Chains A and B, each alone.
Chain A
Amino acid sequence: MTIVDPTKESAVDPSVVNITINNKPVVARKGEFIIAAADRTDDFIPRFCYHPRMSSVGMCRQCLVEVETPRGPMIVVSCMTPVVEGQIVRTTTDSVKKAQEGVLELLLANHPLDCPVCDKGGECPLQDQAFSHGPGESRFVEEKRHYEKPIAISDIVYLDRERCILCDQCTRFADEVAGDALITFTSRGNDTQVLTFPDEPFSSYFSGNTVQICPVGALTAKPYRFKARPWDLEQTESTCTSCSVGCRTVVQSSRDELVRYQGVDIDPVNWGWLCDRGRYNFESVNSPDRLTTPLVKTGTELAATSWSVALETTARMIRLALAGNANSVAILGGARGTNEDAFAWAMLADKLGIDQRDSQLGDGLSPEVFNLAQATIDETCTASTIILLAPDLKEELPVLYLRVRDAAQKRKSRIIEVSARDSGLTPHAWRTVGFEPGHQAQAVREALSTPEMKEQLARGQVVVVVGRPNLAENEMFTLQALAEVFVAEPSVKVLPVLRRGNVRGAIAAGLTPQNNSGDAIDILNAAAAGKIDCLILLGADPMADVPDSGLVQRAFTQVKNLISIDTMINDSNRNADVILPAAAYGEKNGTTTNLEGRISNVAQKITPRGTSRPDWMIATELSISLGVDIGVSSLEDLNSKLVGAVAAFAPSIDAKSTHGDGVLMARETPVTISGNLSRAIDRNAYNLRLVVSRTMYDSAGSTVSSPSLAGIVTDAAIFVNPLDLGRIGVAEGTNVRVGAEGTNIVIVIKSHNGVHRGTAWLPFNHTGVDIRPLLNISSDVVDVRIEPIK
């Protein structure tokens, strides 16, 4: 949002309005409400329903102030009254006090006095403002209204209607911001209450925000209920790394255990919102399954050991492999950690001459997208045209979805969605360009050549949001489509949306293929061919993340020594030779880089579990064991080395700059992209072309080891268009055989209107059936044949 600080505007600016609040001059922006102008002064106006990121509704009437009118002083609602030139506002007169006390007495009439057992008690706007602006005593002696105490309105959120003051914040958020109007006022009148439709849960990806903005204890979230009292909490500001949006958060702990994340409002990124996955996967940090001690394989079993033994063993393995050939060691991963973690490992790899490293796992895009003219999130959301060549943002980068949705709904951006499948943004798209995987470049070329599109592209800045929309197709198709956009409009800017936490920082810090060596898939292919002796997994779980699990399987059987640095046991490191326990999010300091290249700090709040250590510390220790000391003495030392060595990080030289809004990476002179138009072979009419993409709740380690989220993950199924379902001749919900190139799986089939005809959609990495045998990474697209089971 481009909120201009009005205090910096010149007085002649027509958008500036001068008013007085409590006899002090205040400069306001035209159209602004009194309460927003007052928020920049020291005079606090009490409020419950007002939220600066949502439209004003004047529900609670608490923000009454006095405004001078020709007919004398008048009491008005300050969240609904716009400023006008010369306005005289008073917020502390006797009549204002009387009005505010009256409203509060009425709000409290039916509010239960259960503050001592209420989770909100201690940080409750109603409690606080009852003290600061309330009458002190209630004249209401009658029985208060009663409802069934908390009812679960979703897997995560509980609603206590007795405490609700009907401020409309949660329902407004659900409708206006998230676009999931699944909770609403029902039985309006004397019995108004917030409810869902009967038996339809509030299953929004953003439901946690309603709990955060609820000004009373009406909405509480399962992971935090009765876990702590606000005055017990310690907190520190940090940046979420669950995906690459980089939402600003506060991490809160009690007795050295993470208990809650809350969103922090920063203008350039998240506006205070978080998605539920990012908000609640802190539970995985507290998981009893966390590794607390190094494990080394003795015989066939992994056995706990000391750090010195584990590091010696690791060093010996690496040394042994390097003795033959520097190309027999490879590093996969690094996007989970901080910039410093990645840089320490990159330095170690440099010292050892390991070129084969990749922080992407074959499910991303070539880093060359970072060399194109870059757009920030703000630039994207203020652009005239946003072209989506991206995965479903709602599923993979949820808060970016909120921003782009806002741009299309409330601002002037028009979305042109290029997608093989309907996404969360399809209803907000101005035009949708469908295509069959492998033909997107053609589709983009044709679509953008119409007069209507040309006119739209000429209206102003064009930003392309580019990511990896389909794991069952070669990334080259997306890049070619991107090149076509550059042909149609050379001044276009790019917002690369690679989803993994700190992937952009890891690539910039050097965890990306060096000296023309291959990427993750090439590394795995080399491993499968027996050319890799020692494979280091740096917080990577290729078994879960690389689309082609067969390839990973073959690679792992051939690799002599598998070393894993991770927080938990997973499918990839179960058979590792050494596992070094890593400190998790919330247990280490550093900086992270979001998808637009914004560097901001992540902060430590709790002690690392057991003897686990940050990745950078492990790299440092290992470098000493290997006799190639990377010379890092502390995190500060490492950070200054990073800032000095990598130009992209130079803007973060002052540690303070990474706090708050963070600071953007230095950008290189942009290059352009060109691609030869090629297209995939045509599909046999009996087959369906596969679209494989991620959903928000999948079997990712941090989700399934968070008890509150684990139950939300659904079993794998294949989705087809209802018309295709009819053609296949099976009923919805039955098992079918899905075959591709000699392999087949048996899976439940479902119909979905958002799946285009001729394609089939498989959500990636869900529980139940493993779909990856179908994905052969060496083929450009995957066509499947679906047959009923006789």
Chain B
Amino acid sequence: MSRLNETNTKSAREIIAKYPRPKSALIPLLHLSQEQNGYITREAMQHLGELVGVTSAEVYGTATFYEMFKFEPIGKYLINICRTMSCALMGANELMHHAEKKLGVNAGGTTPDGMFTLAHAECQAACTEAPTLQVNYRYRLRVTPTDLDNLIDNLRDGKLKDEFPPHGVLSKVRQIIPADRAVGAKDPEDVNESPAWLDGKAAL
């Protein structure tokens, strides 16, 4: 059972209330479910379909458009090493070989303990700081093999958990919008009802 847990179901309802139509909330909800499990499970997609009133197939169709939603279990830390021109010139390939040896998996693989997934990435838009990598989409710049060793050791020892939250976590702080300031329909089931913030006033 990897549907949304109770806390996240509550968050999901809050998120849905921010939108005039429930299904508009689908992308944030997919992030929420990826945050819960590290990847998006089938059960979660079915659950989201129920929450916003679309079929699981529609949730699946939306989710699969996005490269950063994962549908298979993935390591707690996703290490993306850039391999585009600037980084390649500055030793990205050697860095990848080093990482493969260090972690004992090939690019694209996940370590048996589920801690790391190693992957190639295309340009990360920091060419002046090549070679670059990202851990769960958070940068490390001008990375040397020694830096990489330290990074992996520190991640494994939990020393960097403040800097690098587990895969799927977008931010450490969630924006809270009070119900009375949400723009969603008062009754999430009734899309014809005017948004709460209008509070009976005519629309501009």
Contacts and interface: CB of A to CB of B under 8 A. Distances in A.
A243 B106 CA distance: 60
Interface of A: 175, 180-189, 195-200
B105 to A, nearest CB: 25
A184 B57 contact: yes
B65 A198 contact: no
Nearest to A175: B58
Given A197-B45, A198-B42, A186 B55 contact: no
B144 interface: no
A182 B55 contact: yes
B56 interface: yes
Nearest to B71: A198
A186 B54 contact: no
The 9 closest A-B pairs by CB, nearest first: A184-B61, A197-B56, A197-B57, A188-B65, A186-B64, A187-B64, A184-B57, A181-B55, A197-B60
Contacts of B46: 197
A169 to B, nearest CB: 16
Nearest to A199: B42
Contacts of A188: 61, 64-65
B65 A184 contact: no
Given A181-B54, A181-B55, A197-B56, A186 B42 contact: no
A175 B58 CA distance: 10
28 contacts: A180-B55, A181-B54, A181-B58, A182-B55, A182-B57, A183-B57, A184-B55, A184-B57, A184-B60, A184-B61, A186-B60, A186-B61, A186-B64, A187-B64, A187-B65, A188-B65, A189-B65, A197-B42, A197-B45, A197-B46, A197-B55, A197-B56, A197-B57, A197-B59, A198-B42, A198-B60, A199-B42, A200-B56
Which interface residue of B46, B54, B65 has the most chain A CB atoms within 10 A? B65
Given A181-B54, A198-B42, 16 more contacts: A180-B55, A181-B55, A182-B55, A184-B58, A184-B60, A186-B60, A187-B64, A187-B65, A195-B60, A197-B42, A197-B46, A197-B55, A197-B57, A197-B59, A197-B60, A200-B56
A186 B58 CA distance: 9
Nearest to A196: B57
The binding surface of chain A is classed by DSSP as: loop
A181 B57 contact: yes
A182 B55 CA distance: 7
A185 B42 CA distance: 17
Contacts of B58: 175, 181, 184
A189 B61 CA distance: 11
A468 to B, nearest CB: 31
Nearest to B42: A198
Interface string B33-48: 0000000001001100
Contacts of A175: 58
Contacts of B60: 184, 186, 195, 197-198
B192 to A, nearest CB: 11
A175 B46 CA distance: 17
Which interface residue of B45, B46, B55 has the most chain A CB atoms within 10 A? B55
A290 B55 CA distance: 41
A199 B46 CA distance: 12
Contacts of A198: 42, 60
Interface of B: 42, 45-46, 54-61, 64-65
A180 B57 CA distance: 10
Nearest to A171: B61
Contacts of B55: 180-182, 184, 197
A734 B56 CA distance: 27
A184 B61 CA distance: 6
Which interface residue of B42, B45, B46, B61 has the most chain A CB atoms within 10 A? B61
Contacts of B61: 184-186, 188
A196 B61 CA distance: 9
Nearest to B67: A189
B45 to A, nearest CB: 7
Contacts of A200: 56-57
Contacts of B59: 197
A548 B45 CA distance: 44
Nearest to B46: A197
A450 B42 CA distance: 45
A729 B56 CA distance: 31
Contacts of B65: 187-189
A217 B108 CA distance: 36
B155 to A, nearest CB: 31
Contacts of A181: 54-55, 57-58
A181 B49 CA distance: 11
A164 to B, nearest CB: 14
Contacts of A182: 55, 57
A712 B54 CA distance: 24
Nearest to A180: B55
A184 B64 CA distance: 11
Contacts of A189: 65
Contacts of B42: 197-199
Contacts of A185: 61
B69 to A, nearest CB: 11
Contacts of A187: 64-65
Which interface residue of B46, B57, B60 has the most chain A CB atoms within 10 A? B57
Contacts of A180: 55
Which interface residue of A180, A184, A198 has the most chain B CB atoms within 10 A? A184
A183 B42 CA distance: 16
Contacts of B57: 181-184, 195-197, 200
A183 to B, nearest CB: 6
A569 to B, nearest CB: 41
Nearest to B55: A181
A195 B60 CA distance: 9
A206 to B, nearest CB: 15
A197 B49 CA distance: 11
A175 B23 CA distance: 15
Nearest to A184: B61
Contacts of A195: 57, 60
A209 B58 CA distance: 20
A187 B59 CA distance: 12
B204 to A, nearest CB: 28
A212 B64 CA distance: 28
A197 B57 CA distance: 4
B158 to A, nearest CB: 35
Contacts of B64: 186-188
Nearest to B63: A186
Nearest to A427: B53
A183 B59 CA distance: 11
Contacts of B56: 197, 200
Contacts of B45: 197
Nearest to A194: B61
A175 B57 CA distance: 11
A183 B54 CA distance: 12
A517 to B, nearest CB: 51
A218 to B, nearest CB: 17
A200 B56 CA distance: 9
A216 to B, nearest CB: 20
Which interface residue of A182, A187, A197 has the most chain B CB atoms within 10 A? A197
A566 to B, nearest CB: 41
A121 to B, nearest CB: 29
A182 B54 CA distance: 10
A80 B56 CA distance: 29
A187 B65 CA distance: 5
A185 B59 CA distance: 11
A30 B45 CA distance: 42
Nearest to A187: B64
B73 to A, nearest CB: 15
A540 to B, nearest CB: 40
A321 to B, nearest CB: 57
Nearest to A191: B64
Nearest to A202: B57
A676 B55 CA distance: 45
B190 to A, nearest CB: 12
B62 to A, nearest CB: 8
A165 B46 CA distance: 28
